[in-house]
Structures are given as structure tokens and as C-alpha cells.
Amino acid sequence: MKVCWVFFLLAFLNDYRSCGVYASQSTRPDVVRIGSIFTFDSVIGKAAKVAIEAALEDVHSSPDVLKGTKLNITMLDSRFSGFLGIIEAIHFMATENVAIIGPQSPVTARALSYLANELHVPLLSFSLTDPTMSSLQFPYFVSTSVNDVFQMGAIADIVKYYGWREVIAVYVDDDYGRNGISVLSDQLAARSCQISHKAPLMAEANVDDIRHVLVQVALEGSRIIVVHAYPERGIDILAAAQYLGMMEEGYVWIATDWLSTLLDTDALLSSEAKKNIQGVLSLRIHTPESEAKKTFVSRWRNLANTEGALRRNIGLSTYALYAYDTVWMLARAIDAFLEGNGSISFTAHPKMNETHEDLHLDKMSIFNEGNLLLNSILNVNMTGVTGHFKFTSDRNLIDPAFEIINIIGTGLWRIGYWSNYSGLSISPPETLHFRPTDNSNSKQQLNPVIWPGETSEKPRGWVFPQNGRQLQIGVPNHVSFKDFVARIQGTDMFTGYCIDVFIAAVNLLPYAVPYKLIPFGDGHNNPSSTELVRSIISGAYDAAIGDIAITKDRTQMADFTQPYIESGLVVVAPIRKSSSSAWAFLRPFTTEMWCVTGIFFLLGGAVIWFLEHRINDDFRGPPRKQVDTILWFSFSTLFFSHRENTVGALGRFMLLLWLFAVLIIKSSYTASLTSILTVQQLSSPIQGIESLVKSNDPIGYQQGSFARDYLVEQLGIHESRLVPLKSPEDYAKALNDGPRHGGVAAIVDEHAYAEVFLSTRCEFSIIGREFTKNGWGFAFPKESQIAIDMSTAILKLSENGELERIHDKWLLRSACSSQGAKLHADRLLLESFQGMFFACGLACIAAFLIHFVRMMLQYHRRCSELESSSQSHTSSSRSSRLHTFLSFADEKEDSVKARSVRRKTQCDSSMNIEQNASISGS
């Protein structure tokens, strides 16, 4: 208790700069004291002790660092005890050490960090990866290994890569375990995954304790288990899992780097222990291959046997490499510190002399230049056996990376790598740093894995929890449309189409699902499916099945399965037979279609007349005859009986295009008129949802349906117009009464209900098409694995035809229909011919412009000839020029050409006469 009280007090002491100098060294001292404390007999400590001693020897033999100054590293064994570690640290603080290497336990490191803050002594750990050791709270603590933030990020990426969503965490319940799992939870959440169950273990848990915890784990649904523990405890966890049958096919075990460290260090692991870890995935800190690493690895056997049997068969772990580089890094930092004229001096702590003389706290002193040495440590930039050794601004080592290990047989199989730069890959991370970063899931890659149970097939990762609890499933207790869902009177049993689909899907699941169907609703009114889905959030139900439409609002409350039936909203309205009339021949075209067709007939005739007028005698004559020609030619093409021939290329092209358009219009009209006159037509005053929205008539909807919210929120229909209806009988009565007698003009409901309703009622029909795209599905809580498996089962039902068979069993009816009757929908709309009319209009404009430009060029040539042949040119008025142009345009082209030839001949004759006269005169 005294020691605890002392450290509680030390944590709140103030920093004092000077109170008498106890020791003062020269600028380049002969010896620099360093303390080192860790558990010698631990998996990490056994190899680390050898590595530290080897590093110290190499530093002293190197002329590049320290230049004659020796490091005196005093190593003390904490013997797996945080208490002893703290006591030994007090001893170090009393012996004027400039730095301390090696606390392994987070508890020890945290307590020593308070001392380090007070005495300004850097605290370096090559094995402590606790992500909560903040540099703001503990500025003198420096981790010289890869932080657990990156290891947990690697595990989260593995979980996401294989498509799993939930994991179970088994960990030691201390700072090391809790802090690591907390970071894992954050990393998984960032990837839309989660820890579904946490299973903490006491640090001193025995075999029975471990088995008890794992039994609870086995009852959970997830089969992805992450073990974050010390090597000594982790191997016991896997042994207990083997004993309980939890290392069989279907399980996935992911161990943090404690397992790879154990296998690297302890070559004499028993065959029984190796049997217990088959198929397990583990991580190992990745250190790039280099000449320095190869040299050190080749020396390791001799180094590990320098003390005979005590060190025999100690393997080289990654943490031993980091221990080796930590000594080198500290040596370079001290060398830089001394090169910068730094001196090593200590000052007595002012309050240590006042209390607890029996603990020798008065010998503790402040390292005056501790802050300078700390900065020198953080600025080291070197290449060691672990690769490039340098700290980032947040005091993490640069380029953190891990190897992903699969334990197979007696060896380790590396299936890939992970780095915070490239994510998962099968190439070493150092080869990817010069490529563009791409962490998309499609670019991630790992080699095949042999999973527990000696299978290469990826485990599903989830089963239904075997905790004896039944799923509480809510089912809407409808008063109508019992073909879909119907409660058997006096029981909690249900029948119907939706129930059969659910049972068939559950039977296809690869695991048993105990469930209980619970009615939702009072049985007198149709319940709201939205409220049923919302009850899943509150925990009243574990799932909801039935005729539940998948809508945007509901998907925000729960996860839905694959739709098992499509059912969008439709309009149902009364229909009546359409009687024939004397003007029935006008029905095929709408008014707009008749008008546009007539305009295009006139336009086509006018354009062809314009193209042929100057070259074709059939299109010439007095004005009245030309008008008659245009009208006759335009409408006679409808029957292909036109008498006029076209002689120009543009005219023939336009005639061909126009005749093709006429053929389409004529064929469409004939087909539509035939249907109207030979098939019994049905009509409705409602044309579809658009006309229903524009009117002010009341609209019916099924009570409890999402149709009400859609009509109000999406289509803006006032609530006063909406009439809730319970049953098909209510539908029929409301439609028959109509809006004038307290009924409705139409009913908006889902297509599946409408089909059942119309199967026995011929006087009503669906008007228009579905105006929403919805389907029915089963609802489960967010992130539910069973929702995914149920979706797969529904797809299988669809593929093997079982879904169709269930549909026919419940919903196939001898549909009510009148032979040869159809809803009046044969009128041809202008929209159907827009493309054709646009193409024809564009061709007309192009032909007109081409002919007009050509005619203008001819007119310009004629004017030029007239000017050149006339001795004097007099300007004419605009009206006279227009009259001249119109006369030219009306004149036949052959006459123009002949006149031009005569004029040219006369011109040539006149010039010859003038030339002869001039020659005679000369």
C-alpha cells in the first residue's frame, strides 16, 4: 500500500528544474548509464535479452557512434510482476540513468511514465504497443515498435476482405487487452463491421475459466473469433477451443501477433500445441529483407547459445529485432546529443528529501537535459535490421506493415501482407510504395487459406445463435386479403402465401432457426406495416414477416431480404363498354396527331413543289393550278396515287422519305382502326394516376398500407381526399357508389392486392401502369446476418421454381375477363411518331436550304452576266430587285440556261467585230 500511495503522489508532483547538482559529467563522458527492465523468461523477453546484449556489443565495436563513450545497460527482471517492475524502476531512477528500456506491461509502463515525466528520463519500449499511451499525457514515453492501432486495422481489413460483418473478441481483461480491443472496435466500425460479443478473461484464468468463457462464445452467432492475449494465455485459449470442438469447419480464429511471436521464439512447441492451432490466422510485424537483417539472422544461433542450455533453441522474433534496433537508436540519439554539446547532469528532486526516507526516494534526481535527449531520440533517422527506423510526427514508426500468417501443419504459410499504405496485398509493402495508392476492396488480394477443419472454402462466418432463445417474429394480423397472411382462429398459427415463402426459405438455411410467430394488430383493423417494422428497432420483435413492402423509410429502420414478389402501386377504377359511333373511324388518332399529320402532308407537298418547280413541267403553270398541284400531290401520296413525277435528285429523295413516313402512318392507322371496330372496347373516366391527382375526387386505399403516405408526401394529395378501406368488399362498394354517392373514384393499392381483388370482379380494372417499383420482403434488425442468408434462400427458391409453385398455390385464380375485351387504349398518340416527324422535318429543311442556296448562286451568276454585257450600270430599287429575283425563281431552269448561252454567244460576236474594226483602222 505504501508503494501505491507513493506513486499516486508522484503522479501529481510539479516539475522543478534545479535544487543542487548531484553529479556533473563532462561533455563526452566515458560511461552513460541506461536501465532496462522486462521479464527475462517471457516469450518476448527471452529473445529480447539476447538481442540487447548483441546490440550493446555491436555499438561498442562500431567507430561510427559514441566515439569512445560506453553504454552501461543494467537489465533487471520484473518476473511477470507489475509491482516488481515499479520497484525496480525506482532503483533505476536513483542511479542516474539517462533512459530506461523495455517495460512490457501497460500497467508498469503507465506507472513508470509518471516517474519519467517527473524526472525527465525517456522511457523506451520495444514490445509495448498500447495505443492509449498518449504522447500528450506521457511525453517521455516512446514506443519503438509498431502500434496496435495498425495491427487492429489489419485485422479489420481482413474481416472486410472476406465479407464478414461481426466478430467475437476474446481477450485478457487488463489494460493491454481492453485497450487493444477498443481500438479493434473502432477500426471495424470504420469498415461497417462490429464486435458482436466481448469475452474477457482474467489474467490468471485457469483452464476451467477459459472453457466457461468459450462455451458462452460458442452460443453466439458469429464464428469469427479474434484472440488478443499474452502468448502464455493465448495458447491455453486455443487448446480449450480444440477441446470444446471449436476448431472445426465453420470457425475462423484470428490471433494477434502473440501467436507468431510464440512460434518464432519457441521452436520446441509440443506437437499437441501445434495441433490446437491448425488453420489459425495470425499477424507478424513485417520487417523488409536487407543485408543487415540477413547478417543478424545468421548470427542468431551463436548468440542464442552463448550461455549454454539456458538459451538453447531460442528463436528470433520480430520483437527481438526491434529490441536490437532500440539500443542502436538510443546510441545514435546519445551520440547526436553529445555532439550538440549536450551534457549529462542530474538535480535532486526538491520534495524527495522531505518524505519516505525508508524508500530512498531522496536519491531520485531530475535529468536536466532529458528533454534534449528526448528530442534527439525522436529525430533519429537510421536503417537498422528492421528496415528504415524513423518516427512520424505522432511518434509512430514510419511505414507500419504486417505479414498475415496461416498455421498449416508444422509450419507457417504467409498468405499476404498488410500496410497502412497499400492495404492487403500478396506483394511486400516496400515494393508498392512507388505505385499509386488504391485501397479499394476490389484491389485487395490474399493467397488461399487452409481454415480450421482443413478446408479451403471460406467459412460463412455466422450461424444462428445456439442459446436456446426463439426468434420473436411479428406477423401483421390482417382482416382482409387472407390469401397472403391469415391467422388461424383461436391459435397463434398463420397460413398464406407469405408464410409459405418464409417457411420454405427457413428450411433452406444451413442451420436451425427456432422462431415464434406473434400477431401484430387487434384483428379488427389492418395494422400499419411501418409500425411493425419500427417495433424491430424498439426490440419488441426480432424480425417481421408478411406482406411488407420495401420502402425507403422502412429500409432506414431495418434490413430487408431479397424481394420475393414485385408489387408496385396501381390505380383500380370502374370500367364500362365503349359503344360504337358514326365517327369511330377518327378514334385511331388523337386530335394532336390528326393536326400534325395534316400539317406535315402540306409541308411535304410544298417542299417537293419548291424543289421541282424550276425543272419539272408537272409542277408549273398558272398560280391556281400550282396550288391545286400542291394540295393534290400532298394528299394523293396517302394512297400512292399521285400522278406527278419527280425529276430532280433532291425531289426524288424527299418523295422517297415522305412515302416511307406515309406507309408507317397508314399501317398504324389501319391496325388501330381494325382493333377498335372488331374488339370490344372498355373505357374508364380515370386515365391513370396523373388524371387522378389533377381531379378533386376521393381516392381509396387499403388501411395500414404505405400507399397513404406515398399519395400525401410524394404526390401532394390532400389527406381529406383519402378514404381508408379494410376489405375487398369495401373496395367494391366504394367503387360502385362512386364519388357522387359517398364512394371513391378509384383505389390506389399494391399490384398483388389488386390482382386478387380483380380476379372475381369484372366491372373493375387496373388503369395505366405501376407508378412505383416495390417488392415485399422480410424485415430483420440492422446488420443482421440472417437477413443475408434468407436472401440467398429466397434466390434459391426462385431458381428452383418453388417460389412460382407457392405463388400458383395461393394467388393463381381463374381471372375474370370478357372474351375479346380490352381496356380502351388503342388511340395512337403524337409521342409515338415524334421521331419520324422530326426526321422528316429536318430533311425538308435541309433540302429546302440546299436548293435555295443553289438557286441564289445561279441568280448571282445571271446578274454578273447582265452587268458585264451592259455598258452602263444603273442601280435599281429594292422592290425591282425582289421582282427580278421572283421572276428568276419562277422561270424554268432550261430557259435560263438557254438565254445565258445566247447572251454569251452574242457577247463573243460583238467582241470579235470590235477587234476586227480596230485592226482595220490601224
Query: What is the rounded distance in angstroms from the CA atom of residue 552 to the CA atom of residue 532?
Result: 15
Report the share of the chain in percent with pLDDT over 90: 45
For the cut 50, the answer to whether the pLDDT of residue 82 exceeds it is yes
Confidence (pLDDT) at 556: 92
Across residues 321-338, what is the average pLDDT? 96
Confidence (pLDDT) at 86: 77
CATH of 683-773, one of 3.30.460, 3.40.190, 3.30.70, 2.40.160: 3.40.190
Confidence (pLDDT) at 821: 42
Q: Order of strands, edge to edge, in the sheet holding 99-101?
A: 70-77, 31-38, 99-101, 123-125, 141-143
6-20, 468-482, 579-593, range with the lowest pLDDT: 6-20
Give which of 746, 752, 753, 750 is closest to 767, Cα–Cα. 746
898 confidence band (pLDDT: 50, 70, 90): low
Across residues 694-714, what is the average pLDDT? 90
Query: What is the rounded distance in angstroms from the CA atom of residue 430 to the CA atom of residue 387?
Result: 10
Supply the angle between the helices 43-61 and 258-265 in degrees, to the nearest 10: 70
State the virtual CA torsion across 83, 88, 93, 97 in degrees, nearest 10.
-140
Q: Considering only residues 13 and 298, tell me which one the structure prediction assigns the higher pLDDT.
A: 298
181 confidence band (pLDDT: 50, 70, 90): very high
For 202-225, the pLDDT digits (tens) are: 988 999 999 999 999 998 889 999
Q: Considering only residues 572 and 587, tell me which one the structure prediction assigns the higher pLDDT.
A: 572
586 confidence band (pLDDT: 50, 70, 90): low
H or E, element range at 23: strand 21-24
Q: What is the pTM of this model?
A: 0.68
Q: Considering only residues 360 and 52, tell me which one the structure prediction assigns the higher pLDDT.
A: 52
For 273-309, the pLDDT digits (tens) are: 889 999 999 999 999 999 999 999 999 988 887 654 4
- Residue 169 CB coordination number (10 Å): 23
690 confidence band (pLDDT: 50, 70, 90): confident
For the cut 60, the answer to whether the pLDDT of residue 102 exceeds it is yes
Highest mean pLDDT pick, 84-98, 723-737, 802-816: 723-737
24 confidence band (pLDDT: 50, 70, 90): very low
State the DSSP code for 434.
T
Confidence (pLDDT) at 515: 92
Give which of 37, 4, 33 is closest to 345, Cα–Cα. 33
For the cut 80, the answer to whether the pLDDT of residue 123 exceeds it is yes
Across residues 769-785, what is the average pLDDT? 89
Highest mean pLDDT pick, 253-262, 353-362, 714-723: 253-262
Q: What is the mean pLDDT of the chain?
A: 82
**Contact partners, residue 331, CB within 8 Å, separation at least 6:** 59, 65, 66, 71
The class of domain 471-567+776-811 in CATH terms is alpha beta
> H helices of 712-811, where?
728-737, 751-758, 785-799, 802-811
448 confidence band (pLDDT: 50, 70, 90): very high
Which position has the grid cell 422535318? 841
469 confidence band (pLDDT: 50, 70, 90): confident
Amino acid at 680: Q
CATH of 148-288+400-431, one of 3.10.450.230, 1.10.630.10, 3.40.50.720, 3.40.50.2300: 3.40.50.2300
CA-angle at 594, arms to 589 and 600, nearest 5°: 130
680 confidence band (pLDDT: 50, 70, 90): very low
Give which of 345, 431, 347, 349 is closest to 387, Cα–Cα. 431
**Contact partners, residue 433, CB within 8 Å, separation at least 6:** 399, 421, 422
Confidence (pLDDT) at 640: 59
State the DSSP code for 717.
-
Across residues 96-101, what is the average pLDDT? 91
| SS3 assignment for 844-906 | HHHHHHHHHHHHHHHHHHHHHHHHHHCCCCCCCCHHHHHHHHHHHHHCCHHHHHHHHHHHHHH
For the cut 80, the answer to whether the pLDDT of residue 637 exceeds it is no
879 confidence band (pLDDT: 50, 70, 90): low
For the cut 60, the answer to whether the pLDDT of residue 596 exceeds it is yes
Confidence (pLDDT) at 910: 60
H or E, element range at 505: helix 497-508
For 418-442, the pLDDT digits (tens) are: 999 889 999 999 988 776 666 666 6
For the cut 60, the answer to whether the pLDDT of residue 695 exceeds it is yes
Confidence (pLDDT) at 874: 46
For 496-507, the pLDDT digits (tens) are: 999 999 999 999
- On the CB side of 288, CA atoms within 13 Å amount to 18
CATH number of 31-145+290-390: 3.40.50.2300
Confidence (pLDDT) at 500: 95
Give which of 568, 372, 508, 402 is closest to 794, Cα–Cα. 508
Confidence (pLDDT) at 365: 84
Core vs surface per residue 447-471: b (16+ CB within 10 A) or e: eebbbbeeeeeebbbbbbbeeeeeb
Amino acid at 507: N
